[in-house]
């Protein structure tokens, strides 16, 4: 297990170059979104009584912020498990160079996932701080929304990284964003409750891993998790299952790819 | 995790490697019936060879002969499809990481990290072997000196010339002081000056007793660097020996190259018969294989042949390859 920390070390060494810009945008992103959507759009939403009812008496900012937290880690996870993986396996081939040493394909997968988890934790923590500054935190349990968001991100990271290891060009990455990440971002209960969707489509939203992440993060940020602890466990179980299945798949695709050269 | 890593003990303490026997048959690599298949395609077809400690061993052959596939199996990154392979006394199927901890690999394509500096590339690579940070830095500086890149230590990798990147890749492969250095096409794509500089460094390593295994499709490289080599063609080994022994066995002492004016070569019919032990008609010239080149030229003149240019030279591995396969090494 300690061998894979070498992989994490490499990723950290590479990150040093872009560290400042990256931390800055981790702050800027939630500030902009919460200002525009939470405060700007929220002012209109909060004037409507039907809207406030649908949101269960919450302000729009309170409703939106935890959802955005989960959605942001999803997007960051998708990005981090596409391009850096392609760089390591196809462009610069540094993962192949690693494989010529005692490091195994399994270490390379595990090290990259640990690195992605570290990145997501930073992003989620900064987001949570900004949320709190905006007054969108209703419960101290919001601290637990950070691991919930990281788990959401990892559920996307493992299958996407596994897929990225099978590709030799980034052509299909756009499709993943266009037909996967963006629709999920919009229709997983981030911006409005899925009960607002037509009844026929609602069950589809339940299939969205992001919906589980959004619900979980929201229940923690608002401190309502005690009302339906069983449901929270289902969310965790769904995300953990996807994460584990994706990890298993990634071990296979990385090993096959590294052996092929 | 990142910050505290330096205080970790050195890992990969796999215990001592098996004692190397000092007799001449002590082999670092032993292959029998070694085969690599990709689906229906057979890249390496049942080859046998052995590499002794301290030896400089080459695989000579054209592109697609199976050299790289063989090297990747020796490097324990590509599974053996069939046959037996033993590297440093161990089975790559069972002991991949342990074997890899004792070898250095220079892949055909440079796999340097362009996001890191020259020196960082070496330091992080040492870390992969479980070396301490201090040890990595010490080795990195030593190796930068060896490959004459100390002045570029803190520069990014990207602006380096092809030859410099190649030298850096070699230095990287030496960071763990390997028992065995694998070089896949070490000088392909380099200009002559960069090649000579690289050969010089490899020659020094050889003198220090490092076991080198390299692939090449340049016969001059094979002649310069290899104590012994195998000629590969179409996934098989077609000949084996020292460069000199191969030339003596498969070629004559000298070769006479005759170039005729355009169109004339096709009209020569039998006029060259008997001038030499053997003859090769290439598209642009005729090669006469005879121990005495000047005598062959004189004989040709006596027959009234008027080639445009005449060159008498020593036989090379290129001639050996031509004899064995009927084709040139570089096509």
B211 touches chain A (CB under 8 A): no
> Given CB atoms, is A100 within the 8 Å cutoff of chain B?
yes
How far is Cα B36 from Cα B69, in angstroms, rounded to an integer? 7
Residue contact A92–B113, C-beta within 8 A = yes
Looking at beta carbons, which residues of chain A come within 8 Å of B97? 102-104
Q: Give the pLDDT band (50/70/90) at residue A1.
A: low
Q: How many CA atoms lie within 13 A of A64 on its CB side?
A: 24
Phi/psi zone of residue B63: left (φ > 0), alpha (ψ -120 to 50 degrees), beta? beta
H or E element at residue B237: strand B236-241
Considering only B47-56, B152-161, B271-280, which range has the smallest mean pLDDT?
B271-280
Contact criterion met (CB below 8 Å) for B246 and B320: yes
Spell out where B194-326 has E strands: 211-216, 228-233, 236-241, 254-259, 278-281, 286-290, 309-314
- Per DSSP, what are the bridge partners of residue B240? B230
Q: In this model, does residue B15 exceed pLDDT 60? A: no
**Residues facing residue B106 across a β-bridge:** B183
Structural domain boundaries in chain A: 4-260
Q: Is the pLDDT of residue B21 over 50?
A: no
pLDDT, position B17: 45
8 Å CB contact of B1 and A14: no
Whole-angstrom distance, CA of residue B142 vs CA of residue B145: 5
Which residue is closest to B77 within chain A, CA to CA?
A259
Mean pLDDT of the A199-216 span: 92
The helix/strand/coil state of A250 is: helix
Mutate to test the interface with A, among B81, B90, B94, B113 (most CBs of A within 10 A): B113
Instruction: Determine contact: A10 vs chain B, CB below 8 A.
Output: yes
Q: Is A103 on the interface with B (CB under 8 A)?
A: yes
Once rounded to an integer, what is the mean pLDDT over residues A167-173?
Answer: 96
Nearest to A5 among B5, B12, B109 (CB): B5
Q: What is the mean pLDDT of chain A?
A: 95
B177 touching A (Cβ < 8 Å): no
pLDDT per position as a tens digit, A141-157: 999 999 999 999 999 99
Per CB-CB distance under 8 Å, the chain B contacts of A260 are 78
The DSSP string of B38-60 is ETTEEEEEEEEEEEETT-EEEEE
How far apart are alpha carbons B115 and A11 in whole angstroms? 10
Contacts of A99 in chain B (CB under 8 A): 77
Six-digit token pair at A45? Answer: 């939403």
Cα gap B81→A245, rounded to integer Å: 29
Taking contacts as CB-CB distances below 8 angstroms, the residues of chain B near A9 are: 2, 5, 124, 127
Report yes or no: B155 at the A interface, CB cutoff 8 Å.
no
Pairing label, strands B211-216, B180-184: parallel
CB B181 within 8 Å of CB B104: yes
Q: What is the mean pLDDT of residues B150-165?
A: 96
A93 touching B (Cβ < 8 Å): yes
A228 close to B (CB below 8 A): no
Cβ neighbours of A12 in B, within 8 Å: 2
Within 10 Å of residue A135's Cβ, how many Cβ atoms?
14
Kindly list the structural domains of chain B, giving each domain's residue range(s) and its CATH number in brackets, ordered by start. Answer: 7-242 (3.40.50.300), 252-314 (3.30.70)
Average pLDDT over residues B313-324: 93
Residue B100 and residue A100: Cβ atoms within 8 Å?
yes
d(CA B188, CA B167): 13
Decide if A102 and B97 are in contact by the 8 Å CB cutoff.
yes
Which residues of chain A are within 8 Å of residue B70 when distances are taken between CB atoms?
none
Cβ of A259 and B113 within 8 Å?
no
Contacts by A33-39, CB closer than 8 A, 24 or more apart:
A33/A68, A33/A72, A34/A61, A34/A64, A34/A65, A34/A68, A34/A130, A34/A131, A34/A134, A34/A136, A37/A64, A37/A68, A37/A191, A38/A64, A38/A65, A38/A134, A38/A136, A39/A134
Dump strand ranges (E) for B53-179: 56-60, 82-87, 103-106
Picking from B2, B12, B97, the nearest residue to A9 by CB comes out as: B2
The pTM of this model reads 0.91
Token pair in block for residue B283: 């598209």
Tens digits of residue pLDDT in A28-85: 999 999 999 999 999 999 999 989 888 988 999 999 999 999 999 999 999 999 999 9
Calculate what percentage of chain B has a pLDDT beyond 90. 78
Query: Is B10 touching A (CB cutoff 8 A)?
Result: no
- Other residues' Cβ atoms within 10 Å of the Cβ of residue B92: 21
Does any CB of chain B come closer than 8 Å to the CB of residue A122? no
Chain B contact set for A96 (CB, 8 A): 77, 107, 111
Average pLDDT over residues B52-73: 95
* Residue B169 pLDDT > 90: yes
Mean local confidence (pLDDT), B207-234: 93
């Amino acid at each position: 297990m300690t061998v894979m920390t070498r992989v994490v070390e490499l990723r950290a060494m590479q990150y040093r170059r872009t560290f400042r810009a990256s931390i800055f945008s981790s702050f800027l992103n939630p500030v902009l979104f919460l200002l525009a959507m939470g405060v700007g759009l929220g002012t209109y939403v909060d004037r409507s009584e039907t809207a406030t009812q649908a949101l269960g008496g919450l302000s729009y900012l309170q409703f939106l912020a935890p959802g955005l937290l989960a959605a942001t880690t999803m997007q960051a996870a998708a990005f981090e498990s596409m391009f850096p993986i392609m760089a390591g396996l196809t462009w610069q081939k540094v993962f192949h160079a690693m494989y010529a040493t005692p490091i195994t394909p399994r270490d390379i997968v595990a090290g990259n996932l640990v690195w992605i988890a570290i990145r997501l934790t930073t992003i989620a923590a900064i987001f949570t701080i900004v949320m709190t500054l905006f007054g969108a935190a209703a419960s101290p349990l919001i601290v637990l929304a950070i691991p919930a968001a990281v788990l959401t991100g990892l559920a996307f990271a493992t299958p996407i990284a596994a897929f990225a290891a099978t590709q030799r060009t980034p052509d299909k990455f756009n499709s993943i964003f266009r037909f996967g990440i963006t629709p999920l971002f919009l229709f997983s209960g981030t911006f409005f409750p899925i009960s607002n969707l037509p009844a026929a489509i609602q069950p589809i939203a339940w299939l969205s891993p992001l919906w589980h992440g959004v619900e979980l993060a929201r229940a923690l940020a608002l401190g309502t998790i005690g009302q339906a602890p069983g449901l929270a466990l289902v969310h965790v179980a769904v995300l953990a299952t996807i994460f584990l299945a994706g990890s298993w798949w990634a071990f296979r695709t990385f090993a096959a790819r590294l052996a092929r050269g | 995790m990142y910050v505290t890593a330096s205080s970790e003990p050195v890992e990969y303490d796999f215990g001592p490697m098996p004692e190397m026997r000092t007799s001449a048959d002590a082999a670092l690599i032993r292959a029998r019936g070694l085969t690599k298949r990709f689906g229906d395609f057979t890249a390496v077809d049942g080859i046998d060879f052995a590499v002794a400690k301290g030896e400089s061993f080459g695989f000579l052959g054209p592109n697609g002969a199976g050299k790289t596939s063989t090297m990747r199996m020796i490097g324990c990154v590509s599974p053996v499809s069939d046959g037996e392979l033993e590297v440093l006394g161990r089975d790559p199927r069972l002991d991949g990481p342990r074997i890899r901890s004792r070898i250095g690999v220079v892949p055909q394509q440079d796999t340097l990290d362009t996001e890191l500096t020259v020196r960082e590339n070496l330091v992080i690579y040492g870390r992969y072997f479980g070396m301490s940070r201090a040890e990595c830095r010490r080795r990195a500086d030593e190796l930068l000196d060896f490959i004459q890149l100390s002045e570029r230590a803190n520069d990014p990798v990207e602006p380096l010339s092809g030859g410099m990147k190649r030298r850096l890749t070699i230095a990287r492969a030496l960071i763990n002081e390997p028992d065995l250095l694998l070089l896949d096409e070490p000088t392909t794509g380099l200009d002559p000056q960069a090649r000579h500089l690289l050969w010089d460094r490899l020659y020094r390593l050889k003198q220090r007793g490092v076991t080198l295994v390299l692939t090449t499709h340049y016969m001059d490289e094979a002649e310069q660097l290899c104590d012994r080599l195998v000629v590969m063609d179409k996934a098989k080994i077609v000949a084996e020996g020292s460069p000199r022994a191969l030339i003596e066995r498969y070629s004559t002492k000298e070769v006479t190259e005759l170039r005729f004016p355009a169109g004339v070569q096709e009209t020569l019919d039998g006029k060259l018969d008997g001038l030499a032990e053997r003859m090769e008609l290439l598209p642009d010239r005729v090669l006469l294989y005879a121990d005495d080149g000047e005598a062959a030229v004189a004989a040709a003149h006596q027959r009234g042949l008027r080639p445009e240019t005449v060159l008498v030279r020593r036989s090379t591995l290129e001639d050996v390859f031509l004899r064995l396969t009927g084709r040139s090494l570089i096509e």
